Structure 1
Amino acid sequence: MRALLKRLALMVWSRKVELGLGVRVTVAAMSALATATALGLKLPLWAVLTSIIVTQMSVGRSLKATRDYLVGTIGGAIYGGAVAILIPHSGEGALLAVLVLAVAPLAFIAAINPSLNVATVTAIIVLLLPLMNHGTPLESAIDRVLEVTVGAVIGLLVSFLVLPSRAHSQIRASAANALDLIAAALGELLAALTRGRDNDALHKLQDGIGAALVNLNGLGAEAERERAAHLSNGPDTGPLLRTVLRLRHDLVIIGRATVVPLPSELQKRLAGPLARVSEAMAAYLRARAVALRGGAGAPAIWPLQVALQAYAGEVAALRRAGLTRGLPGDVAERFFALGFSLEQMRLNLKDLERCVSEWADAAPVVKGEKPEAPEPSEN
């Protein structure tokens, strides 16, 4: 039982961001209902729904959701109220015509700017609700704006005060996840040069990397919104995001260079050096991921430098022995492109070292560090 409880606690703790969101949404809904009831709003439902909508995973996302929802609501209420007041619609046909006039322009605007989707809904509510409660369009518009404002303010306050989660801190975990996936994909791609590809595994990894980068870019925009509002003061997100994206591009080039295995003679000579390069790069990427998650320094890059230098030396030996002269044109092109892409990835990993050091607020670990190996020669 104790082991089961421990596993459950670890599972819950691993989802602490999601758990925090659940707590914030619950508190926001309860607070919005209590506030709307205390203020005597006609439809507390809209205040509760709005508070849930604007309470997002991070403060930066909550800021954007609140801004978009308020702007869309106010715009839709003004336009819908104006149409309902200025155009008589006592009959069913007139009501349908007014409904078209209210919905069509706002739907067109929302298609251009999806953040204003709520404007169309608000205009419909302002137009049709008076038919149910026998009020006026002006009263309906004012009530709608008040209800949404109460919900938005409550949701935003809860996002700030109850277990607040900053996008700036979430970037650490998201970038670390992307680096782990890149490390796994790199190992699969380089292993394909000697044993063939596992396309199913590679497709799964590539899909995971794509989803991780989409999430990372979204968090980056939210983090910059927080920085602009002076809600966080961490390092600039741009360099880290650009470096991870460049590593993904390096992975794509390596993927093109490893479409088919190397010729058997080259496999015999390069299997060992390539395996060491793969192990060193993957280990370095995973170590940097751990450093990002834990906020501590990471190991130095010299083991990777040594592995790449050994690979470059073996390639040079193959060329001196003339083993690359008889290669078909497409095979030779992929073979030398591999060397270029590995060198490019090394340079981007050096940039990653600097970025992670900034985010970890600590220099890379240098205990037992050897002098940096000479730069690998171009293949």
Structure 2
Amino acid sequence: MASFSFSARWLNNATVRQTIRLLVSVGLSGLVALITRLQEPGWALITSVIVTQSSITETLSSGRYQLVGTFIGAAVSILPITLLIFHWPLWQAFTVAFVPLAVLASWRPNTRMAVVTLMIATLFPTQDDPYLRPVERVLSILIGVSVSMVVSYVVLHEQARRDAFRNAATTVRKIVDILAHARDRDIDWLGIQDLNDECAASLRKVQAAVEEARRERWRPLEQRDPMLAALPKALRQLQMDSLVVARAILRSPKTRSTLTRDKAEALSAGVMRGFDWIITRCEAEAVSRSGEEYRVAAGVISGLPSENGIDDEIISFALHILKTDLTSLIRLLGEDDADRA
């Protein structure tokens, strides 16, 4: 048990996990290249190093660019190879194909692999049929990309769901900071906007993790994990609500006499209990799915304070919106969908 825990701690390190994935990808690419008897298996290994990324989304994107660029370069390289057969000078034949590919790479940088493929197929001498060089290059890329895709899905995947809920907890904490500073009036509106920028950056991480989770399996995310699928939208709504509430509180000096400090503290304490429960739930979901929370969620919702009794209509309306969306998020996180995994 001690050795297992020691290993598990190492495997929880993102650098260690990516190193293992990269080594496995390179090893498998080399093995497949040897089995298929490629003349230059090194290109498959190089491709696997370039394509294997820390997330499925990045791996898919990198692999797509590699394939598209290689196919374009292989197709274009047929022209200079044909011209060389008809005894054109090497550099003239190469330039005819290189110039349009250079323009394409400048316009679409993701296609720059086409230029590399052209150089390999044209400038490196070969004893075999010259038309086999671009075919060999395409096969190497296909092997490297295919192996990288499999490794990204199978070997020590990063678990996007965990990252999404962990960043969701961070986002909620930043929303709480916005509301707390607005309540205490210890910063101005520009400071609130700076806090909102930090909150938005954290929310983008949640969205990226959710998009990563969508690619993990063929089954739609809305069916297998509706809680995770709806999480970014619910958090975004709370973020906007927090700005509305903060703006309502800070909008003018006379607001201070409308909402007494005692009443503000009472409202704040009730709302913060709801936020604290959300943070706890997100951190729990980041570890593993835990169901049967709906009864607890109902109790948290019933404990949220009422905005009735606030003289300022703007603050009352803003708090009503915040409470409504806060209730929706609590209900979402209280749904028992552990059996959908």
How do 1:1-379 residues align onto structure 2 when only pairs under 5 Å count? Answer: 12=10, 15-16=12-13, 19-59=16-56, 62-78=59-75, 80-85=76-81, 90=89, 92=91, 95-108=94-107, 110=108, 117=110, 119-127=111-119, 129-134=121-126, 138-165=131-158, 169-197=159-187, 205-228=195-218, 234-236=224-226, 237-259=228-250, 262-264=255-257, 266-293=259-286, 294-297=288-291, 298=293, 299-303=296-300, 305-309=302-306, 312-315=307-310, 319=311, 336-358=313-335, 360-361=337-338
Name the CA distance, whole Å, in 1 between partners of 2:239 and 2:174.
Answer: 12
The TM-score with structure 2 as length reference comes to 0.76
2: CA distance, partners of 1:359 / 1:201? 38
How far apart in 1 are the matches of 2:232 and 2:279?
A: 17
CA distance in 1, matches of 2:130, 2:243: 57
Return the alpha-carbon distance in structure 2 between the equivalents of residues 6 and 153 of structure 1: 31
CA distance in 1, matches of 2:240, 2:174: 15
C-alpha displacement of 1:150: 1.4
How much is the aligned-residue C-alpha RMSD, in angstroms?
Answer: 3.9
In structure 2, distance between residues paired with 1:151 and 1:164: 18
Cα distance between partner residues in 1 of 2:7 and 2:196: 31
Mapped contact 1:77–1:144 kept (Cα < 8 A) = yes
Q: Distance in 1 between matches of 2:265 and 2:186?
A: 16
Deviation for aligned residue 1:247: 1.9
Matched-pair contact (CA < 8 Å) for 1:173–1:292:
no
Structure 2 counterpart SS, 1:300: helix
**Structure 1 residue 343 displacement after superposition:** 2.2
Secondary structure in structure 2 of the residue aligned to 1:308 = coil
Equivalent-residue separation in structure 2 for 1:285 and 1:340 (angstroms): 23
Deviations 1:184-228 (A, max 9, x none): 432442343334228898677544432332233233333333444
Per-residue deviation at 1:145?
0.5
Give the TM-score of the pair, scaled to structure 1: 0.70
- Per-residue CA deviation, residues 148-171 of structure 1 (Å, 9 max, x unaligned), is 111112222323443345xxx423
Return the offset for 1:296: 1.5
Structure 2: 5+ residue stretches without partners: none
Whether the aligned pair in 1 keeps the contact of 2:189 and 2:250 (CA below 8 Å) is no
Amino acid at match of 1:356: L
- Residue 16 of structure 1 and its aligned partner are, at CA, apart by 4.8
Deviation digits for residues 117-137 of structure 1 (CA, Å, limit 9, x no counterpart):
1x3323343245532335676
Aligned length: 327
Counterparts of 1:278 and 1:9, CA distance in 2: 41
User: Structure 1 unaligned runs (5+)?
Assistant: 112-116, 325-335, 363-379
**1:25 deviation in Å?**
1.3
Q: CA deviation at 1:350?
A: 3.0
